[in-house]
Amino acid sequence: MTARRIIPCLDVKDGRVVKGVRFEGHVDMGDAAELAARHRDDGADELVFYDITASPQGRTLDYGWVESVARLLDIPFCVAGGIRTVEQAARCLDHGADKVSINSPALERPELIAEMAERLGRQCVVVGVDSRKVGDDWMVHQYTGDPTASRGAGRRTLDWIVEAQGLGAGEIVLNCMDEDGVRRGYDLEQLGAARARLTIPLVASGGAGCMAHFTDVFERADVSGALAASVFHTGTVRIPDLKRELAAAGVEVRP
């Protein structure tokens, strides 16, 4: 098994990092560049940057901003936000990003996943999935960066991740909306069900509140990476301490 990845996520709005609870009530967490540099120095394996209002506003992210982030980092980073064409994705990579994540645009036009994988290589293509329990099933939601625009996508989560994998996604990030910002642990049931249906890497998102939650998600849901935001931004969980605890529990991590 390859080393499990610790991935801070920076939800960016107007150049500032914000964080909400269950995708609502966003509050300012600080400057994006300063937080990125701190996480880099603390030993993050990757970083993810989401321009959370790009898709709801019908625009894509700022390539100059991507380039400025790339100059700061010597670890892989992924960008997301309103990327609707292969050309836009390619420009993100040309400006220094290592991966591109698509979410709502992939739901609008699933063949975008295949087009990106063919031209850019599937290792660069991440599909983000925002999922919430509806009745007895998990359902996909879209435009979640703006509470006024967020809505159900009419797709079952487990069906959509399998379809995305078949189209060429190289990785799935499963954002469990019911646990987002609540800090009571990852949705192990949903993540385990997703892991059983995928052969590509799965990254858990939503719910981390303490170091034990990371151990649980790696051991019980067998994910490839764990993404978190506020616990890292606030210093509630420090990455060096987390990696020591994971290693002590027998979870393989990079130093």
Supply angle C-alpha 60, 65, 70, rounded to 5. Answer: 120
> Which two tokens mark 22?
């269950």
> Which two tokens mark 222?
């067998």
Quickly state the pLDDT bin for 41 (edges 50, 70, 90).
Answer: very high
State the Rg of the chain over Cα: 16
Mean pLDDT of the chain: 90
Give the phi and the psi of residue 109 in degrees, each rounded to 5: -145, 85
Higher pLDDT, 181 or 26: 181
pLDDT (tens digit, 9 = 90+) per residue, 190-216?
A: 999 999 999 999 999 999 999 999 999
Q: Name the one residue in this structure whose structure tokens are 């067998």.
A: 222
Q: Which of 77, 23, 29 is CA-nearest to residue 52?
A: 23
pLDDT (tens digit, 9 = 90+) per residue, 112-166?
A: 999 999 999 999 999 999 999 999 999 999 877 667 777 877 999 999 999 999 9
Residues 6+ apart with CB under 8 A from 93: 100, 120, 124
Burial 189-198 (b: 16+ CB within 10 A, else e): ebbbbbbeeb
Three-state secondary-structure class, residue 58:
coil
Quickly state the pLDDT bin for 27 (edges 50, 70, 90).
Answer: low
Amino acid at residue number 251 = V
Distance from C-alpha of 118 to C-alpha of 32, rounded to nearest angstrom? 32
Q: What is the mean pLDDT of residues 30-43?
A: 89
Catalytic residues: 11, 130
Query: What's the predicted TM-score (pTM) here?
Result: 0.90
- Tell me if 159 sits within 8 A of 213, measured CB to CB: no
